[in-house]
């Protein structure tokens, strides 16, 4: 009887050991997977597959949905963005959109660093080469092509590309969708008259046509404002009126365009900085 019990016990132990050995790879695999996609996982996005965006109208909507995954931090007094790549991938965003967003965050951070660097004289120094950011360059080009192809439409249908267009404008619904007209005014003292109207000297990184003339006289001025367009009102100072001194007795004004002083106010959405760059490249 004792021998029988001993043999039964030995068989039971052998079965248990076998089960554990068979299950161990699966357990290890699950643990490894958990580590790989966990909060501190490192995903090499350069290894992810890339496809063309084409004319996929959902790209801008997907970018908008990434707002919760973009956080802000300060480095040497400069406000920079961080992008939670891993969580975005875990929660189902396409690899292409994640790659684009990651590169766009890096592009905007580079603009911020350059804007606050010493010795910057005009926006040409802020025009970081997009060769460093091929996905952003490709996206910009496709959004421009998409806008150009839509010009033949006699009416702008808000639901054609985006069911809820942003009142400040987006790539598929730029606000305004044209270059504002310049209006000239004669004056005995153009700078003082612009200042009296509420203008200030444009931030040095945002002077698209140069901050000063050949004689070193400041000629570029900005007045922050709100803007009411077809999709609602974008709050001040995310838009601006733009003033330029033409000569000692003449100045010109443009009314209503995205404010390129992008580091002087809170953005309406996380990739506004890149959008403003794109808008001013096209209008």
**Angle at which helices 95-115 and 272-282 cross, to 10°:** 80
Structure tokens at 254: 């443009």
State the pLDDT at residue 155: 52
At 74-83, the pLDDT tens digits run 998 899 999 9
**110 near 127, Cβ under 8 Å?**
no
pLDDT value at position 235?
97
Alpha-carbon distance of 230 to 213, in angstroms, equals 37
The predicted-structure confidence for 243-276, as pLDDT tens digits, reads as follows 999 999 999 999 999 999 999 999 999 999 999 9
- pLDDT number for residue 120: 56
Give pLDDT tens digits for 99-129: 999 999 999 999 998 888 755 554 445 667 8
Which regions of the chain are under pLDDT 50?
Answer: 1-56, 122-124, 154, 156-161
What span, in angstroms and rounded, lies between the C-alpha atoms of 71 and 109?
12
């Amino acid at each position: 009887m004792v021998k029988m019990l001993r043999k039964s016990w030995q068989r039971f132990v052998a079965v248990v050991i076998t089960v554990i050995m068979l299950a161990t790879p699966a357990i290890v695999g699950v643990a490894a997977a958990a580590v790989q996609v966990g909060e501190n996982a490192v995903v090499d996005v350069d290894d992810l597959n890339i496809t063309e965006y084409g004319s996929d109208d959902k790209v801008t909507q997907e970018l908008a949905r990434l707002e919760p995954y973009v956080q802000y931090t300060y480095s040497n007094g400069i406000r920079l963005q961080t992008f939670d790549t891993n969580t975005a991938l875990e929660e189902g965003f396409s690899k292409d959109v994640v790659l684009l967003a990651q590169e766009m965050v890096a592009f905007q951070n580079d603009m911020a660093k350059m804007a606050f660097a010493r010795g910057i004289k005009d926006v040409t120094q802020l025009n970081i080469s997009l060769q460093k950011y091929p996905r952003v360059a490709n996206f910009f080009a496709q959004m421009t092509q998409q806008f150009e192809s839509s010009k033949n439409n006699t009416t702008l249908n808000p639901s054609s590309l985006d069911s809820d267009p942003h009142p400040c404008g987006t790539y598929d619904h730029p606000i305004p969708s044209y270059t504002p007209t310049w209006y000239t005014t004669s004056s005995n003292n153009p700078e003082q008259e612009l200042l009296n109207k509420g203008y200030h000297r444009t931030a040095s990184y945002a002077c698209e046509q140069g901050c000063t003339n050949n004689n070193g006289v400041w000629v570029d001025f900005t007045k922050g404002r709100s803007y009411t367009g077809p999709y609602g009102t974008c709050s001040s100072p995310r838009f601006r009126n733009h003033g330029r001194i033409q000569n000692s007795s003449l100045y010109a004004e443009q009314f209503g365009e995205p404010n390129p002083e992008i580091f002087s106010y809170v953005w309406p959405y996380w990739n506004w900085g890149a959008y403003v760059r794109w808008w001013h490249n096209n209008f």
